[in-house]
Structure 1
Amino acid sequence: MKYTIKNERVVFNDHYKMVKAKVTYDTFRGNKIETERLAFERGNSVAIVLLEKETESILLTNQFRYPSCKNNDGWLLEIPAGSLEENEKPEDCVQREVLEELGYKLASATLLHTFYTSPGASTERIFLYYAEVSAKDKIEKGGGNSEEDEDIQLVKIPVAEITSKISKMKDAKTILALQWYLLNKISS
């Protein structure tokens, strides 16, 4: 099956970008569909499931999210995450974000999976990682990047409480990551 993209143009350009294009693609019945589509070009991101070994806790962020206010959820618990800068490698970005948000220095991180967050609307892919840290790896205060007006609180969820807390989570990447942890680290 094939597709073509024509007349792609930027229709909005601020902190993020919106593009519009004419798209023609093959159907499962052997026909073609020609239509216009929009894509939110947010850029790619990283996220990480982070275990602090001494406390047997998953390290999360608690931060204000304007878009989720539309549904009365101003602050969300999330795994650490952030956007890739231009020409930045995902493995460098995840180290930078963990240091900025939580103050921990990562020795290494393992790539688990790459996935789309909302493929019907956004081009964003998330590179999901896993790492373990020690309390001695906390070398900075964290709290986010003040130049980006971030105000991030570190929250530690004991591994024993993940199952009871996961149903209260609102962030998809966090739910996915915690389910991965339960399936691969608890049941193994």
Structure 2
Amino acid sequence: MAEPEFLKILATSVLSDDWGTLTRYRFRFRRRDGTWQEQTREAYDRGNGATCLLYNPDTDCVLLTRQFRLPVWLSGKDPFLIETPAGLLEGAHPEDRMRAELIEETGFDVSRLEHLFDVHMSPGSVTEYLCFFAGTYHLNDKVSEGGGEKREGEDIEVLHVPLSKALEMIRTGEICDAKTIILLQDLALRKLVPARS
């Protein structure tokens, strides 16, 4: 990647290269007033991902998951997070990867997904961005039990939650995952203001 005019990389050092890669960068950055400042930052690269909120118009429910998250436990919070299904792209096309992840985590195979937007979730320290999708599901779309991949350490509970309850769960703190909050609020807004034809 070519350096832009406002940035000069002086040195890089890989600090860890296990599940992801943690790299320290020393660089010069040209500030808005034209002066150059030397800075040091660390960036964690674990690849990009995709997430999706499925909505059932027949039941007015959304399809969510609950699973253990070690970093949340380490921060002193309830580690069993309620989330939208998600996964790393690992070189796959985002929509294809999301379809496979939905089957793996929830057991539902849906025919159409809508790409909404891409979001950097923690841009100060993580290179990852997530491709956000929405879709419709019906109970007859179920093709397996879901629950995730045991060999990958996944133990995922599948939840069908009324949309109104899910929105209330944001307010009470029961849902505190950023990607999930974004997708629930996006769905609520789209229901209030339908897209123009």
| Interval of TM-score (by shorter of Structure 1 and Structure 2) | over 0.9
Q: Given the alignment of the two structures, is residue 46 of structure 1 paired with residue 59 of structure 2, yes or no?
A: no
| 1:187 positional shift | 4.2
How many residue pairs get matched?
Answer: 187
Deviation at 1:33, TM superposition (A): 1.4
Tell me how far apart the structure 2 counterparts of residues 88 and 130 of structure 1 sit (CA, whole Å): 18
* Alignment counterpart, residue 150 of structure 1, candidates 133, 151, 154: 154
1:182 lines up with 2:168 in the alignment: no
State the superposition RMSD in angstroms.
1.4
Which of 81, 84, 89 pairs up with 2:86?
81
* Consecutive aligned runs of 4 or more in structure 1 exceeding 4 Å deviation: none
- The two structures have a TM-score, normalised by structure 1, of 0.94
Which residue number corresponds to residue 102 of structure 2? 98
* Cα offsets for 1:29-65 (capped at 9, x unmatched): 2211112211011110100111123322010000000
1:24 and 2:28 matched:
yes
Q: In structure 2, do the counterparts of structure 1 residues 5 and 185 end up closer, same or farther at CA, with 3 Å as the change threshold?
A: farther
Q: Distance in 2 between matches of 1:115 and 1:142?
A: 26
The letter of the residue matching 1:18 is L
8 Å contact 1:56–1:158 — kept in the other structure? Answer: yes
Q: How far, CA to CA, are the matches of 2:164 and 2:179 in structure 1?
A: 20
- Cα offsets for 1:68-109 (capped at 9, x unmatched): 002232100001111111x21111110011000000112121
Asked if the contact 1:166/1:175 (under 8 Å) is kept, the reply is yes
| Identity over aligned pairs, percent | 32
Could you tell me how far apart the structure 2 residues matched to 1:127 and 1:143 are?
22
Structure 1 counterpart of 2:10, which letter?
K
Give TM-score, length-normalised by structure 2.
Answer: 0.90
Q: Which runs of 5+ in 1 are unaligned?
A: none
TM-superposition CA deviations, 1:126-172 (whole Å, max 9, x none): 00000001111110110001110100001111123233122221111
Q: Does 1:135 align with 2:139?
A: yes
- Give unmatched runs, 5+ long, in structure 2: none
